[in-house]
């Protein structure tokens, strides 16, 4: 048997002769050969690759495998030349439900909160931070036109964008046309509902006909996708007015894009968080009525918490991803980023429906009832995560949240989600698939953040067998999670401060094992991999005036209960009513 250290040395030397990076661990031999353009695998190369994989076969078995691999390379070459459009997903679709899990499939009336006495102020800009529910009442009662609202929000967006750097493309012409149409429809008695005439912004990985969809990357900054994403169509049908394509961290990662960093309206010296950076910044600054963000792993909840918003990451299967850049077909989700929890429900009512394009979307009714009796719901909190907080301000705000829920009439009970003992591979492989052409073409060198490109390159070397085995482990993890949370309807996990980065700023707390140690999946990771719905809600402020946030979770397709608890807490705490004061640079 060949010595493993000598095998690694010889294999890495072979990598170097092909011009490949020797910093990547070779998960599969043929993946590396495809990158290099080599056409032939020798028995010696096969032997070395198998040794690195910890496998041993007879000479005869290796020879047969070598023939099989060489034949496969020809097929791979043909596949590389075959054009696969962005909107084609694999023919299997993620289901967040596990055996024994039940969901409510009975459709019920949609019930908003009662609202009366809303009056237009003398200065219309005073409504910039109002909730969609309030803005809708102004529009419905014809105290304000959509044209007026659109003009006001566009003006604010252009005024503050130099400070926030949150806009990729202004859509003035489209916005004015849509606002004019909304006013005509409302004047004719054809009011469509609470989003009719309300200006909004879309994260710039969402395609809109006639405008660039840059994905935040220098490699795609001139890209035109002449199609509308399903969410664009549904919001247009609801009468909403698209006023801007808002920034995304490059290829949905972080807050940095080819135009620089997107900034936090509470403190522009700090990042907005990402990757739904523009939606977080613009909505937090009162520059749009609401926005649509996306999440694979913290990209919506993170900037919502950082920018003091109410942001909903729905269950995978609630909202179509058609027309949206993919990172992971088994993790990506779209959701509303708003200034109040009920606003999230109003937006979800428009976009949570099947479209016969994204076949992962399930026809499960979204039954919002603003007057739901939340005291009948079972509320839990992840005691281990609460107890891990050491910062006194954060600990105080976290405890105040539990106290407020108790005062409302709920009884938060401690629960625990045990760590899962093995890591789960998901979006790293899937993003390598979506960006395979980018890497092969060499255009990844045009990316603004090269560490992002390195991730695409490295993921090509993850073996298919290990990937699929990890998905089987993922199912076991989901079953463990379902068992751990079956006693509650809604449960809480602290998030923390704005300011970008870090466990408190970028996502729910808790981490994996150190490098070179066995990897486990903590509660935050499990909830993400299992695509449980999460709701970020502001729960206080730091001494520096930055918002802190609590994340509420529910089991799959439990968004109505989740939002009802979030609304009850928000109505009592009123932290969402405070908004930032943005200073413009002096001349």
DSSP label of 203: E
Give the residue among 354, 345, 294 at the shortest CA–CA distance from 319. Answer: 354
- Asked if pLDDT for residue 396 goes beyond 70, the answer is yes
Residues 6+ apart with CB under 8 A from 457: 21, 24, 35, 439, 444
DSSP label of 586: P
Across-strand partners of 200? 242, 290
Active-site residue identified among 131, 276, 291, 299: 299
Backbone angles phi, psi at 300, to 5 degrees: -110, -50
- Asked if pLDDT for residue 9 goes beyond 60, the answer is no
pLDDT at residue number 52:
65
Integer Cα distance of 495 and 384 in angstroms: 14
Phi-psi category of residue 26: left, alpha or beta, with phi > 0 → left and psi -120 to 50 → alpha: beta
pLDDT at residue number 423:
87
Active-site residue identified among 89, 131, 146, 203: 203
- Asked if pLDDT for residue 156 goes beyond 90, the answer is yes
| Ordered structural domains, the chain, with CATH | 129-363+375-419+471-577 (3.90.1300.10)
- Asked if pLDDT for residue 199 goes beyond 60, the answer is yes
pLDDT at residue number 97:
97
Confidence of residue 75 (pLDDT cuts 50, 70, 90): confident
Strand 413-415 with 534-541, pairing: unpaired
pLDDT at residue number 464:
85
Give the residue among 257, 284, 275, 370 at the shortest CA–CA distance from 313. Answer: 275
Mean pLDDT, rounded, for 92-121: 95
- 203 as an active site residue: the answer is yes
Active-site residue identified among 275, 310, 340, 549: 275
- Asked if pLDDT for residue 506 goes beyond 60, the answer is no
Terminal-to-terminal C-alpha distance of the chain:
74
Integer Cα distance of 316 and 531 in angstroms: 6
Q: Chain-wide mean pLDDT for the chain?
A: 89
Say if residues 480 and 51 touch (Cβ distance below 8 Å). no
pLDDT at residue number 466:
85
One-character DSSP codes across 509-574: S---PPTTS---B-HHHHHHHTT--EEEEEEEE-TTS-EEEEEEEESTT-HHHHHHHHHHHHHHH-
Cβ neighbours of 66 (radius 10 Å):
18
Q: Which helix (H) or strand (E) holds 395?
A: helix 392-408
3-state secondary structure of 111: strand
pLDDT at residue number 463:
82
Angle between helices 172-187 and 146-164 (to 10 degrees): 150
Say if residues 242 and 284 touch (Cβ distance below 8 Å). no
Give the residue among 375, 377, 376, 399 at the shortest CA–CA distance from 386. Answer: 399
Confidence of residue 546 (pLDDT cuts 50, 70, 90): very high
pLDDT at residue number 67:
83
pLDDT at residue number 26:
37
Confidence of residue 386 (pLDDT cuts 50, 70, 90): very high
- 299 as an active site residue: the answer is yes
DSSP label of 279: H
Tell me, yes or no, if the pTM score tops 0.85.
yes
The 10s digit of each residue's pLDDT in 12-68 is 444 443 333 333 333 445 454 444 444 478 888 888 877 767 788 888 888 888 888
Q: Which helix (H) or strand (E) holds 451?
A: helix 450-459
Confidence of residue 72 (pLDDT cuts 50, 70, 90): confident
Say if residues 160 and 200 touch (Cβ distance below 8 Å). no
């Amino acid at each position: 048997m060949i010595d493993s250290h000598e095998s690694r040395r010889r294999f890495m030397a072979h990598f170097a002769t092909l011009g490949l990076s020797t910093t990547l661990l070779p998960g599969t031999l043929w993946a590396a050969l495809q990158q290099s353009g080599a056409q032939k695998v020798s028995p010696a190369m096969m032997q070395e690759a198998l040794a690195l994989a910890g496998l041993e076969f007879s000479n005869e078995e290796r020879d047969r495998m070598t023939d099989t691999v060489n034949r496969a390379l020809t097929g791979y070459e043909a596949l590389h030349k075959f054009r696969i459009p962005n909107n084609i997903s694999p023919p299997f679709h993620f289901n967040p439900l596990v055996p024994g899990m039940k969901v409510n499939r009975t459709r019920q009336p949609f019930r908003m909160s009662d609202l009366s006495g809303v009056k237009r102020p003398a200065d219309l800009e005073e409504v910039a931070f109002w909730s969609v529910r309030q803005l809708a009442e102004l529009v419905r009662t014809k105290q304000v036109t959509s044209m007026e609202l659109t003009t006001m929000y566009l003006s604010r967006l252009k005024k503050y964008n130099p400070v926030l750097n949150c806009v990729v493309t202004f859509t003035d012409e489209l916005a004015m046309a849509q606002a004019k149409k909304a006013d005509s429809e409302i004047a004719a008695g054809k009011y469509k509902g609470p989003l009719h005439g309300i200006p909004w912004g879309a994260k710039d990985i969402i395609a809109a006909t006639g405008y660039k969809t840059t994905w935040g990357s220098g490699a795609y900054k001139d890209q035109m996708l002449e199609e509308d994403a399903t969410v664009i169509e549904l919001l247009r049908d609801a009468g909403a007015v698209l006023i801007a394509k808002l920034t995304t961290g490059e290829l949905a990662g972080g807050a940095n894009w080819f135009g620089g960093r997107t900034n936090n309206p509470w403190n522009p010296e700090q990042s907005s968080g990402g990757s739904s950076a523009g939606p977080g910044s613009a909505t937090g600054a009162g520059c749009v009525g609401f926005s649509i963000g996306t999440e694979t792993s913290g990209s919506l909840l993170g900037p919502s918490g950082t920018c003091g918003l109410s942001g909903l990451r729905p269950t995978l299967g609630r909202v179509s991803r058609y027309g949206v850049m993919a990172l992971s077909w088994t993790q990506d989700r779209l959701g509303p980023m708003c200034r109040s929890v009920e606003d999230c429900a109003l937006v979800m009512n428009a976009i949570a429906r099947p479209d016969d394009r994204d076949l992962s979307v399930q026809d499960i009714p979204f039954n919002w009832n603003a007057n739901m009796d939340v005291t009948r719901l079972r509320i839990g909190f992840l005691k281990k995560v609460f107890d891990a907080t050491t910062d006194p301000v954060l600990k105080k705000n976290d405890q105040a949240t539990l106290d407020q829920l108790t005062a409302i009439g709920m009884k938060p009970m401690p629960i625990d989600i045990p760590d899962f003992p093995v890591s789960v591979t998901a979006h790293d492989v899937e993003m390598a698939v979506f960006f395979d052409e980018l890497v092969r073409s060499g255009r990844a060198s045009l990316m603004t953040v090269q560490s992002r490109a390195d991730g695409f390159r490295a993921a090509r070397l993850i073996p298919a067998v290990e990937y699929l085995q990890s998905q089987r482990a993922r199912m076991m993890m989901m079953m463990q999670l379902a068992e751990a949370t079956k006693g509650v309807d809604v449960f809480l996990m602290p998030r923390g401060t704005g300011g970008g980065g870090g466990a408190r700023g970028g996502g729910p707390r808790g981490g994996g094992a150190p490098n070179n140690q066995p990897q486990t999946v903590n509660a935050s990771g499990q909830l993400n991999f299992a695509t449980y719905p999460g709701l970020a809600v502001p729960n206080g402020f730091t001494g520096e005036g930055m918002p802190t946030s609590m994340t509420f979770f529910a089991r799959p397709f439990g968004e109505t209960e989740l939002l009802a608890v979030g609304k009850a807490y928000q109505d009592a705490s009123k932290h969402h009513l405070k908004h930032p004061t943005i200073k413009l640079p002096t001349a």
